[in-house]
Amino acid sequence: MADTLFSKEHEYLIVEGDVVTVGITDFAQSQLGDVVFVDLPSVGRKVAKGGDAAVVESVKAASDVYAPVSGEVVEVNEALADAPSTVNEDALGKGWFMKIKMSDKGELADLMDQAAYDAYLKTIG
């Protein structure tokens, strides 16, 4: 069974072995408003934890999406190019951004589980 973890920058990770599926949380998409464009990284790109990995643009603003772990991008969600609104409709499902093969699983220790993320949201709301 896959674990879902969350960052304070409102990215989620679905952990399956040494590969994580990354996207933005439902909270993040609701704050952005209608997503109109997603700029995804290239497959093969190396990303560093906390570094820029993608950009999401809405009718309100453009926001960076940060890599919640270090590693190599092994897949991107090409469907978002034609249907960026999928991020609004199904952020934690079909609206995923990229898959990263982790270079250091220890980085997962800094992330939150669902209960901790829900508690964190209450401190910023």
By CB atoms closer than 10 A (0-12, 13-18, 19+), residue 113 is exposed
- Residues 2-12: pLDDT tens digits? 699 999 999 99
> Cα-flanking dihedrals φ and ψ of residue 97, to 5°?
-100, -55
pTM above 0.85, yes or no: yes
Q: Is 46 left (phi over 0), alpha (psi -120 to 50) or beta?
A: beta
From the list 18, 24, 19, 17, the residue with the least C-alpha distance to 40 is 24
How many distinct helices (H) and strands (E) make up the chain?
A: 4, 9
> Cα torsion at 65, 10, 57, 90 (round to 10°)?
120
- Domain covering 3-124, topology: OB fold (Dihydrolipoamide Acetyltransferase, E2P) (2.40.50)
For 72-123, what is each residue's pLDDT tens digit? 999 999 999 999 999 999 999 999 999 999 999 999 999 999 999 999 999 9
- Whether the predicted pLDDT of 125 surpasses 90: no
Region for 102 from its dihedrals, namely left if φ exceeds 0, alpha if ψ lies in -120 to 50, beta otherwise: beta
Q: How many CB atoms lie within 10 A of CB 56?
A: 25
Per residue in 13-65, pLDDT (tens digit) is 999 999 999 999 999 999 999 999 999 999 999 999 999 999 999 998 899 99
Q: Which amino acid is at 125?
A: G
Residue-range domain boundaries for the chain: 3-124
Confidence class for position 1, pLDDT limits 50, 70, 90: low
